[in-house]
Each structure stands twice: as C-alpha cells, then as structure tokens.
Amino acid sequence: MNVRGASTRVAVLLVCLLPAVCWAEHAAELVRRAIDAGRSLDYDGVFVYQRETSLDAMRLIHRGSGDSETERLVSLSGPAREVVRDGTRVTCTFADDKAVMVEKRQPRDLLTFGLSGSIDELTAEYDFRLGHVDRVAGRQTRVVQILPRTRDRYGYRLWIDEATRLLLKSVVLDHDGRPLEQVEFTQIAIGGPITDAMLEPEVNGVDFTWYTNEAMPPDTASPAADDRWQIAWLPPGFEMHREQTQHMGTSKLPVRHFVYSDGLATVSIFIEKLQESAAPLQGFSSLGAVNAFSRVADDYQITVVGEVPQSTVRQIAAAVANRKAE
C-alpha cells in the first residue's frame, strides 16, 4: 500500500472511531450530571425495588436545596420502616420491631447507585456507552450502560431524565447481562417544594429500642482496634474510604469495619472476636447484587459484604490476614 493509500485508510478508521469516542465521553458526562442532579434537586416520588423474587414499593422525598441534603425513604409495602438522612446522620426506624438504628456515615444514594469517585477514575475500570431513548414514569430518558472491563465486578444500566438529568431507573447486571436488582420510579414530581413536615418521620420512636452504630474513641483499648489486620488483595481500583472500630447492635464486642470502593461498587470487611456463645458463620449468602462470604481465622469472625460477584468477596475474605499471628 502506498503512502497516500495508507493515509486514506487511517482517515477512514478515525472517522469510524470518533463517534464511539464521542458517545463514550457523552455517556460519562451524562452520568456525572445525573449524580449532581440527584444531590441538588428537590423531588418526591414513588419507586419499586426488585431483587430476585422480592418486590418492594417505596416513597423517596429528597431536598437538595439548602445547606445540606435531607431525604426520607418510606416503605409502602412489607414491614413498616423509614430511613431519614440529614447530612451524614442516618436514622432507620423499624415499626414492627419497635427499634431505631442511628449511625453516621458518608451520604449514599438510596437508589442503590452511589458514585463516590470521579468519572475519570472510573473509566479505567468501566466502559461507558450511550444507549437508546426510553420512557420512565412518563418522562423521556436516555439509557447509559456502564460495563466492567474485568469479571470481578458488576455492570450497570441507567435511565437518565433528559430534562433534569435525574436518575429515574437503575439496573445491576451480572456477567451475562442478566438483571440482579433494579430500581425504577413509577411516578415523580421534580422541583419541590419540599417542606420540613414532609421530611419528618411518621413514627417518633419514643417507646422503641434505640441502637447507635458509632465509632469508638481512638484511645479505646480493644484487640480488634489495633493495626494487626492486613487486606492483601482487592480488585484494581478499590481504595479504602473508611476504617473504624464500632459497636453494633448485633455484637457485644467491638467490630473492626473497613470500607473499600472503586467509586461505584462498595465492599465492607467486618472483623470481630468470636464470642463463646455465638456459632461462627462460614460460607456464602446473597441477596440480589449483594454477596457475602464469612470465614473464621485465629478466633476471629471475618465477613466480607459487597456489591460484587461471589468469587470476588471470597477472594477478598481469603486475603484478610492477621499479621501478629504469623
């Protein structure tokens, strides 16, 4: 092939590739704007949450205007429960059990799609693709696919409102493209106003049992609070977001809690001293896109819970090592 022919071929290839590159950039930008819209807009809507054979209806009231985000999630089916998030304070009320759980944690989208990293960092581990136009809750949306580049995490399909860029539907996909869980608004009012009364829980919990999952003071002496634990393997792109020792309602002893994320998927590692009266947990459990694997090492219970495949949580759990036992 002569020089002129080679140049022509390169030009044709570039013309063919440019639309795909532009669509990928546009898809990533749409996701970035959807995250901003989910945090800053006022809206009140009803959505359905499906995982495996379970289907729940919920109402989400969100106020993004003002000094901080506030939202209230109310179950409309199944056991009566509410979740109120005001900044980093999250209060979960379980009316049937007459219990209230309070904890402080980083804000996370209650629609199961919570992006904590930058889009630019995510493109190293995920491929963003712009899809077709569709309708959700009577509104026109654009579909975006986020596909993992490796098999140690899941893919996502998002329906983003074309008018406001608010995320109206999300689906978590396995390696074969089958849905593991999905969230979809069936009706929504965007733009408010959202009053203080709309964000107040219906049940005040005065006669309920209150549990607080809070971090222990740094000087608290505990076998689980030292630096003996090492996580030798994590999927590429996962970084630590939080590390603390906390009291949990399910355990009398302090629990070491590590949270890792690649900016899209999140993995939690729990380490606690085995209690004499408690039977150790070992093996898998799963619900929708969330998998857990537990094992026992050096008289400690190690549990990994994450929005990643079973093989990934098991490999992470196997990589948790007690350095002082070596």
Average pLDDT over residues 274-294: 89
**Residue 47 and residue 136 in one domain:** yes
pLDDT classification of 291: cutoffs 50, 70, 90: very high
More confident residue, 249 or 227: 227
What is the arithmetic mean of pLDDT over 220-231? 62
User: What's the average model confidence in pLDDT over 80-93?
Assistant: 88
Instruction: Assign residue 127 the CATH number of its domain.
Output: 2.50.20.10
Q: Tell whether 207 is covered by a domain.
A: no
Per-residue model confidence (pLDDT) at position 268: 95
Q: Which of 199, 231, 251 is at the close of a domain?
A: 199
Checking if the pLDDT of 304 tops 90, the result is yes
Range from 157-171, 195-209, 249-263, 296-310 carrying the lowest mean pLDDT: 249-263
Report whether 125 contacts 150 (CB < 8 A): yes
Please give the pLDDT value at position 247.
67
Specify whether 184 is located in the same domain as 248: no
Given a cut of 60, is residue 1 above it in pLDDT? Answer: no
pLDDT category, 220, cuts 50, 70, 90?
A: very low
Encoding tokens for residue 62? Answer: 């969100």
* Domain match, 172 and 34 both: yes
- Which one has a higher pLDDT value, 12 or 243? 243
pLDDT at 191: 94
Residues 26 and 125 in one domain: yes
Given a contact cutoff of 8 angstroms between Cβ atoms, the answer to whether 313 and 285 are in contact is no
Six-digit token pair at 154?
């899941």
pLDDT digits (tens, 9 = 90+) for 245-266: 876 655 667 889 999 999 889 9
Structure tokens at 15: 């013309």
Does 278 lie in the same domain as 134? no
Q: Do the Cβ atoms of 165 and 36 come closer than 8 Å?
A: yes
Burial code of 9-25, b = ≥16 C-beta within 10 A, e = fewer?
eeeeeeeeeeeeeeeee
Number of domains in the chain: 2
166 and 247 belong to one structural domain: no
Decide if 7 is inside a domain.
no
Measure the CA–CA gap between 17 and 188, rounded to whole angstroms.
38
The pLDDT score that the predictor gives to residue 277 is 74
Cα 51 to Cα 27: distance, rounded to the nearest angstrom: 26
At 50 the pLDDT is 93
Query: Which 3 state secondary structure label does DSSP give 37?
Result: helix
Of 113, 174, 116, 189, nearest to 144 by C-alpha is: 113
Q: Indicate if 90 and 193 belong to the same structural domain.
A: yes
Token pair recorded at residue 36: 């901003």
Predicted confidence (pLDDT) at residue 214 exceeds the cutoff of 70: no
Residues 6 or more apart from 86 whose CB is under 8 A from it?
68, 70
Is the pLDDT score of 129 beyond 60? yes
**192 and 229: one domain?**
no
What is the three-class DSSP state of 246?
Answer: strand
The pLDDT of residue 249 is 56
More confidently predicted of 20 and 252: 252
Helix (H) or strand (E) segment spanning residue 7: helix 3-40
Q: Specify whether the CB–CB gap between 9 and 1 falls below 8 A.
A: yes
Q: Give percent of the chain above pLDDT 90.
A: 54
Residue 206 lies in a domain: no
Least confident range from 14-23, 38-47, 261-270: namely: 14-23
97 and 246 co-located in one domain: no
Position with higher pLDDT, 3 vs 295: 295
Nearest to 292 by CA among 271, 268, 275, 276: 268
Q: How many CB atoms lie within 10 A of CB 127?
A: 15
From residue 100, how far is each of 151, 201, 210, 238 by CA, in Å?
38, 12, 5, 32
220: domain range?
A: 214-325
152 shares a domain with 244: no
